[in-house]
């Protein structure tokens, strides 16, 4: 199976380009890649700093919207595997951050779309690959890293893209077996076993992250021993 790759220079956001392509009747397995984004987006309406040198990718696949949380986990596993192939040890901070040590090296934004005849997932992946920390706004530098910074040399984004698509191709079918993809993610997830503070959008939950449930939610055990299933959220602190 091959990918139809559309390479662009500067875009607002590859996810936005992907949405337009879907409305125009694009095929499943189309991939939009840009060298720079001027309105890169993260989860919860945050912006995603996207200087030249980063890898900005949106993979378009026909999907059921109920599976989007699992697709997020699968994309995280694929990014970790691609970084491993590039010689780096990375982990997943549930649900969508890829870390090297404790610093964010990549982020994932999966968006669902109701197209003319089907449902679609836009799997947006941003990897801080071939730029220096100085190319990021100062307030982000202490919590972020780049592959160039970690490896101490330039990174070839074409090789990285190839590794990423190979890994996604391997992992994506596994989302058909919920348990298997959750299991892969568990093995790579640095959040499990840690004390966490999670912003769920409708409140803050504090406790120990003990598991990832079958549909991709985080199981948090609070101080009173209550187990809570957190379907969506951002980890504010973990330690």
Site string for ligand BTN, 126-155 (x = CB under 6 A): x-----------------------------
By CB under 6 A, residue 98 contacts ligand BTN: no
Smallest gap, in angstroms, from Cβ of residue 60 to ligand BTN?
A: 12
Smallest gap, in angstroms, from Cβ of residue 97 to ligand BTN?
A: 6
Residues 150-209 that bind ligand BTN (CB under 6 A): none
- Cβ atoms 146, 133 nearer than 8 A: yes
Residue 54: what are its φ and ψ, rounded to 5°? Answer: -80, 165
Return the ∠ at Cα 235 (arms to 218 and 147), rounded to 5°: 110
Smallest gap, in angstroms, from Cβ of residue 54 to ligand BTN?
A: 8
Cβ neighbors of 17 (< 8 A, separation 6 or more) are 6, 8, 11, 32, 34, 58
Please tell me what DSSP assigns to residue 41.
Answer: B
Among 31, 33, 83, 108, binds ligand BTN (CB under 6 A): 108
Preceding peptide of 157 cis, ω within 30°: no
Smallest gap, in angstroms, from Cβ of residue 226 to ligand BTN?
A: 28
Residues 15-54 that bind ligand BTN (CB under 6 A): 15, 37, 40-43, 46, 48
Best CA proximity match to 40, nearest among 121, 103, 114, 128:
128
Q: For residue 48, what are its two tokens?
A: 């995603």
Between 93 and 148, whose beta carbon lies closer to ligand BTN?
Answer: 93
Among 22, 26, 51, 56, binds ligand BTN (CB under 6 A): 56
* Strand segments (E) across the chain: 4-11, 30-37, 55-62, 91-93, 97-100, 103-114, 119-127, 195-199, 204-212, 218-221, 227-230, 234-238
Contact range with ligand BTN by CB under 6 A, out of 103-111, 128-136, 188-196, 222-230 = 103-111
Which residue of the chain is nearest ligand BTN when measured via CB?
Answer: 107
**Interface ranges with ligand BTN (CB under 6 A):** 13-15, 37, 40-43, 46, 48, 56-58, 96-97, 107-109, 124-126
């Amino acid at each position: 199976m091959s990918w139809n790759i559309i390479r662009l220079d500067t875009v607002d956001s590859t996810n936005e380009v992907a949405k337009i392509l879907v409305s125009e009747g694009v095929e499943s397995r189309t991939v939009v890649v840009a060298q720079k984004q001027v309105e890169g987006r993260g989860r919860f309406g945050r912006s995603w700093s996207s200087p030249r040198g980063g890898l900005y990718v949106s993979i378009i696949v026909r999907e059921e919207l109920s599976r989007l949380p699992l697709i997020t986990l699968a994309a995280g596993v694929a990014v970790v595997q691609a970084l491993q192939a590039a010689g780096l040890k990375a982990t997943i901070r549930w649900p969508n951050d890829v870390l090297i040590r404790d610093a964010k090296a990549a982020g994932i934004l999966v968006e669902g779309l109701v197209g003319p005849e089907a449902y679609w997932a836009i799997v947006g992946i941003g990897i801080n690959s071939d730029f220096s920390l100085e190319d990021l706004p100062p307030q982000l530098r202490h919590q972020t890293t780049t592959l160039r910074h970690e490896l101490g040399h330039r990174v070839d984004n074409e090789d990285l893209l190839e590794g990423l698509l190979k890994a996604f191709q391997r992992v994506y079918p596994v989302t058909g077996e919920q348990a298997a993809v959750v299991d892969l993610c568990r093995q790579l997830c640095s959040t499990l076993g840690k004390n966490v503070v999670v912003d769920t959008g409708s409140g803050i939950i504090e406790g120990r992250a003990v598991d990832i449930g079958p549909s991709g939610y985080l199981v948090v055990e609070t101080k009173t021993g209550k187990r809570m299933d957190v379907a969506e959220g951002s980890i504010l602190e973990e330690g």
